[in-house]
A and B are shown apart, each in its own frame.
Chain A
């Protein structure tokens, strides 16, 4: 299948209607970023359709207040809500008509210098201004700050819960604590080194990010990745998916207090990570994917690996059957954290979260890259209740389809001897790349000039999806939160960037 990837520019006055037309034609808003230009930054929307991916950009205009302005896309695409806040934090662009342009990634006071991704200037430091205290009582509702340091071993994020005691009528998500300035970390690096940054945007989806980044570079360089490398990429992308889905299952079992199930799924996940490390030297397959191919590592997957994987898969399936017949587990997930099909569709929810609410745009099937084009298409899941249980069942279904894909890919790999990578010629211009990661579509837009990264927008599925936590929490109570959070299964490193 040939994919169409294009870049369009419009006048700032027409921008919103051009984007709205693309949305009406069946595309979805998949991301929004700004890159430094003069007089104001360029703001670029990424529209992904069933078989196309395009950018629609405009130059922001400087308002009377001296700030750069663009019209807000929220009225035509609700998913723009967080992106426009992020763009305001990083580039200082004001989205006119945005319902609440609060800080998201970087809590800077008005008028403070911004990092300005895509700009030449050296980035400035920032000090955390320590926002207001945790407990705030107004009428019958008090707000409770949960985080950024929370119980257990978890990534830092703060949830501000507004609650009369048990229900949670409103939740505020504040991911900025672990903002690492990823956008600026890409800039100025050689395109070959950019993949190392991509691997660390969301460490638990190393392969997916490395693939999406590399696809963008390979598109720019016009290179075809060798067949063996295409298949090896599939094997490790699917192993990564299995590890992530086992992690989510382990956390759900832990939330339900099923200690044996928690231990079993923890051990299964460990077995997958060890399988990856034996073959790549890294438990997260770091260093495997590079623009132009792969570095195959010490051992290729073969029939002994498949035999071990089949044994592991049988064991996983048996334990999932155990969960499916544990009422104490199912009762906590069923009807918990429901994301309605309508909201998921309007928001173009990604990955297992979208699929569990009937929105299934799996890049492996719709816009296949690497070996996916040569392998049997991924069978879609058929759970769309939108609750935490549906999200878990979608993941369990994906474990099965991933094992099937690995089996096929390894069979085709037998006897492959390379070459494992081709040289990418000098890159220049703007490339789009994507990969279906364990949490959903990972999307990269890379601007390169003479082999150097000028700007790289890494769109993790977590940044797109996490805002939906607002929507699903409303009908639930405080003790449901661990289940809902685990069922989202997102990495906060990919949100805070």
Chain B
């Protein structure tokens, strides 16, 4: 007679992460996004790359030549790592899954103008809106043209390793019970009406999260006949989570960022 399920549940002890209360090695070391080294030492390499052109380094148009230097739009980056392979002294993986941002512009790194005042204002406005949501929120997920991997990562939030129920976060079938709209996918013409209907059915206040590079900009599929350069083109977005697909920790970071629940400092590992 095999072990009953109730006892099986106790077999492996606690497998749940303590993040964000404490550090988590997997979250801290996850190669979630690419960074650009703008130090003076790499200036010659950057100039050389600008001269030879950035297109061959990036298949999704995430590298931009602005103000005579290289910037990287994480909202368009699909994480293929081609730039890291070609110019490792300039581009490297940033090891942390805390990658969500409150404005589209902040996904472009290094940031053009660190307008802390604007960011503080946006944060305060969002905080005033979400303050009424309390400590328990319900999420409605809508796939607006994903490749399917995003759904796996969203669903992973419910497995015992992430277990978002511990943070008062739940998924709901009815948009009428939902506080957060979590959108994945490129924003196909076919899904825009169902998505907008879902948004309209949600009671205010509502937080909208664009989850993944596809949802942010269309990613590799931007500007096709059946893509709309991301869901931001027809829906107001509050939080942008880059990644192709974003890892569960990045999604969780985005949700907590929306709720103003990212602790200033996490404690060390237990």
Chain A residues engaging chain B, CB cutoff 8 angstroms: 106-107, 115, 123-128, 130, 148-156, 176-181, 184-185, 189, 193, 196-197, 200-204, 206, 247, 258, 260-261, 263-264, 266-267, 269-270, 273-274, 277, 281-284, 286-287, 295, 315, 318-319, 321-322, 325-326, 491-494
Contacts and interface: CB of A to CB of B under 8 A. Distances in A.
Contact of A180 (B2, B15, B151, B186): B186
B101 interface: no
A206 B78 CA distance: 14
A263 B160 contact: yes
Nearest to A326: B5
Contacts of A321: 2
Contacts of A491: 148
Contacts of A150: 173
Nearest to B78: A196
Interface in B221-251: 221, 224-227, 244-245, 247
B233 to A, nearest CB: 12
A263 B147 CA distance: 24
Interface residues of B, number: 63
A156 B151 CA distance: 10
A409 B189 CA distance: 44
B191 A258 contact: no
B6 A287 contact: no
Most chain A C-beta atoms within 10 Å of own C-beta, residue among B93, B151, B220: B151
B209 to A, nearest CB: 13
B81 interface: yes
Interface stretch (B66-74, B103-111, B137-145): B137-145
Nearest to A270: B161
Nearest to B244: A286
B9 A286 contact: no
A176 to B, nearest CB: 6
Contact of A281 (B8, B59, B81, B198): B81
Given A177-B188, A178-B145, A264-B9, A200 B220 contact: yes
Nearest to A274: B26
Interface string B181-214: 0000110111111110010000000000000000
B115 interface: no
B99 interface: no
A209 to B, nearest CB: 10
Nearest to A106: B226
Given A203-B148, A267-B12, A177 B6 contact: no
Contact of B155 (A130, A153, A287): A153
Interface of B: 1-3, 5-6, 8-9, 11-12, 15, 26, 30-31, 59-60, 78-81, 85, 93, 141-156, 158-161, 171, 173, 185-186, 188-195, 198, 220-221, 224-227, 244-245, 247
A260 B8 contact: yes
Contact of A156 (B5, B155, B161, B194): B194
Given A203-B245, A318-B2, A185 B159 contact: no
B194 to A, nearest CB: 5
A283 B153 contact: yes
Contact of A178 (B79, B143, B149, B160): B143
Contact of B159 (A202, A206, A269, A494): A269
A154 B158 CA distance: 13
B191 A287 contact: no
A106 B225 CA distance: 11
Contact of B190 (A128, A151, A258): A128
Contact of B189 (A127, A263, A274, A493): A127
B159 A286 contact: no
A264 B245 CA distance: 23
B107 to A, nearest CB: 19
B2 A196 contact: no
A270 B17 CA distance: 12
Contacts of A286: 79-80, 244
Contacts of A283: 153, 245, 247
Among A206, A258, A277, A283, the most chain B Cβ lie within 10 Å of the Cβ of A283
A335 B269 CA distance: 49
Contact of A200 (B81, B191, B193, B221): B221
B159 to A, nearest CB: 3
A353 B11 CA distance: 33
A492 B148 contact: yes
23 contacts: A126-B189, A126-B225, A149-B142, A149-B198, A153-B154, A155-B151, A179-B188, A180-B221, A180-B226, A181-B224, A185-B220, A196-B60, A196-B80, A202-B147, A203-B146, A203-B148, A204-B152, A263-B159, A266-B158, A270-B159, A281-B31, A283-B153, A492-B148
B148 A281 contact: no
